Every structure is written in C-alpha cells, then in structure tokens.
Amino acid sequence: MLAAQTLFAQFELRGFASYMPSGCIMLTPDERYAEGIAYSTTKLNLEGYFEISFDIYLGDKDSLGADGITFVIHNDSRSYDAFGTYGEGMGYGRFNTSFISGNFIAPSIAVEFDTYQNPSQNDPPSDHVAYLENGSSFHTSYWHNDDPNYNLEDDQLHDFRFRWDPEPMEITVFLDGNIVYQGKRNLIQDIFNGSTQVIWGFTASTGMKYNLQYFCLRQIAYTKEAASPDDFDNCQAE
Ligand SMILES: [Ca+2]
Ligand SMILES: [Ca+2]
C-alpha cells in the first residue's frame, strides 16, 4: 500500500463524508444510497488564475458500481450546506431537466465523473466526464476517451486537474493527462451574477449500486508558473 500524501486543507463535511487516515476525504462508503459532500473553507477568487490538482478514486466495481462524483464551484445561498439529489444527481444535480423540484446546487458549475448510465441525463453506456451548470446533471456532450468500455471504477487513483484562466475566461479539465473538457465562459457575469468569491468542493452519491469514492487534494496553484508540469504518474489507490 502506498501511503498517499495529500495537501491538508480545511473542509466542511456533510452527509457521509469523512477524513481518511491519509488525509484524503471519503465522499461515500461502499454502501447503497449514500451521499457525501466536502467543501473547502477557503473560497476561490474568479478574478485570478487557479489550477487545482487532485487524485480521485471511483471504486472497484464496474458493472455493479455507481454513481460517481462531481467537482463543484458554487455560490448557492445554502453555502456549505448546499447539496443536490442522490443517485444520478451525484449529490449535485437532479433527476432530469423537467424535474424541477428536489435539491440541486445553483448557481454553479461542475465537472462530473459519472460511473453509471442514466438515459434521462444523456449518459453513454461507458463511464464519462461532463461539464455541468446550475444543478442540471443533463449534458449534451461528454468525454469517454472514444472508448465504449471506458471504465473509471478500476481501483486506481485518477489524476484530475481543474484550471481557470480569467484572461481568456477559459476552463480546462484534465484527467490522467488528457484534456477532457475545455470551454470559454464568463463565469462571473453569466453564472455567478457578478460574484467573484465562490465555494468549491466535491459531491458524490450512490444508489441501488455503489462504490467507495474519495478524493485527495494535491496542489492549488494561483499562477501558471506555480502549476505542476503536465506529467502524470500512475498512482496506486489506498
Ligand atoms: Ca464503470
Ligand atoms: Ca449517471
């Protein structure tokens, strides 16, 4: 077992989330119908550059595993108590776009790492990554490495980075060395109504199917120069 080193930071934990001995944060245990949320107590400033690096773990059960995790940036009025629907909502979204009642996190953006196919959210059969906004889990596009058998529930840590560059107003998401999403968005004006200080963290849940799911914070860089070079080591799960 490799003792994972992680950057210690303060998180507000809700639901099933808890610190692991390594300093990583478990979002869901390997159980049905669990939801866990972890928010950093240090907000991000959208007027500045940031790149945050994590290891994420999505479990070891493929066909029997679910549901996945989301990385979320929000200024929902519930602050550290903001949460979404369990199961296919992954603690962030809601069951489908026409199902307006129920919990979801907004205003927000998120990146989902989805390990279970829900046709109402336009999920492909494979695991996938997608960019989401305002508590909707529905997505028209997604990344699955053009692999119909793409699987993230492989008992491995996956290297995830989220980069915000305010000058071109560009979001870039990396997973295991691949750019899995890139897009320009005026987050301050078009999502956050002029707010520049936003809460960030992770949500996750399980449903009928389930997996242990956790994340480890590796680095927060506030300049391009301070961000890690784009080399990705294979990591071993705990
Ligand atoms: Ca899978
Ligand atoms: Ca799903």
Mean pLDDT, the chain, integer: 92
DSSP lists the bridge partners of residue 170 as 165, 184
Q: For residue 185, report the distance from its CA to the centre of ligand 2, in Å.
A: 24
Q: For residue 139, report the distance from its CA to the centre of ligand 1, in Å.
A: 18
Position 236 confidence tier, pLDDT thresholds 50, 70, 90: low
- As a whole number, mean pLDDT of residues 127-134 equals 97
The ligand placed nearest to the CA atom of residue 126 is 1
Place of tokens 């109504």: 193
The tens digit of pLDDT for each residue in 38-74 reads 999 999 999 999 999 999 999 999 999 999 999 999 9
Is residue 33 a part of any domain in this protein? yes
pLDDT value of residue 122? 94
Say how many domains are in the chain: 1
Is residue 187 a part of any domain in this protein? no
Q: For residue 89, report the distance from its CA to the centre of ligand 2, in Å.
A: 8
Q: For residue 45, report the distance from its CA to the centre of ligand 1, in Å.
A: 34
Is residue 87 a part of any domain in this protein? yes
Q: For residue 179, report the distance from its CA to the centre of ligand 1, in Å.
A: 20
For residue 115, the domain's CATH number is 2.60.120.200
Q: For residue 115, report the distance from its CA to the centre of ligand 2, in Å.
A: 6
Instruction: Select the more confidently predicted residue: 99 or 82.
Output: 82
Q: For residue 213, report the distance from its CA to the centre of ligand 2, in Å.
A: 15
Is residue 142 a part of any domain in this protein? yes
The ligand placed nearest to the CA atom of residue 116 is 2
The ligand placed nearest to the CA atom of residue 121 is 2
* Distances 194 to 90, 181, 197 between C-alpha atoms, Å: 27, 24, 9
Reduce the DSSP state of residue 135 to 3 states and report it.
coil
- As a whole number, mean pLDDT of residues 6-32 equals 92
Position 234 confidence tier, pLDDT thresholds 50, 70, 90: very low
Q: For residue 233, report the distance from its CA to the centre of ligand 1, in Å.
A: 22
Reduce the DSSP state of residue 44 to 3 states and report it.
strand
Q: For residue 48, report the distance from its CA to the centre of ligand 2, in Å.
A: 32
User: Which domain covers residue 100, as residue numbers?
Assistant: 11-162+208-222
Residue 55's Cα: distance from chain center in Å? 11
Reduce the DSSP state of residue 121 to 3 states and report it.
helix
Report every protein residue that has its C-beta within 5 angstroms of ion ligand 1.
Answer: 62, 115, 127, 151, 153
Single pTM value for the model: 0.92
Position 230 confidence tier, pLDDT thresholds 50, 70, 90: low
Q: For residue 76, report the distance from its CA to the centre of ligand 1, in Å.
A: 30
Is residue 99 a part of any domain in this protein? yes
Is residue 192 a part of any domain in this protein? no
The tens digit of pLDDT for each residue in 169-210 reads 999 999 999 999 999 999 999 999 999 999 999 999 999 999
In this structure, the strands spanning 235-236 and 170-175 are unpaired
pLDDT value of residue 7? 66
Position 225 confidence tier, pLDDT thresholds 50, 70, 90: confident
Is residue 45 a part of any domain in this protein? yes
Of all residues in the chain, the percent with pLDDT exceeding 70 is 89
Position 167 confidence tier, pLDDT thresholds 50, 70, 90: very high
Is residue 18 a part of any domain in this protein? yes
Q: 63: which residues sit within 8 A by CB, 6+ positions away? A: none
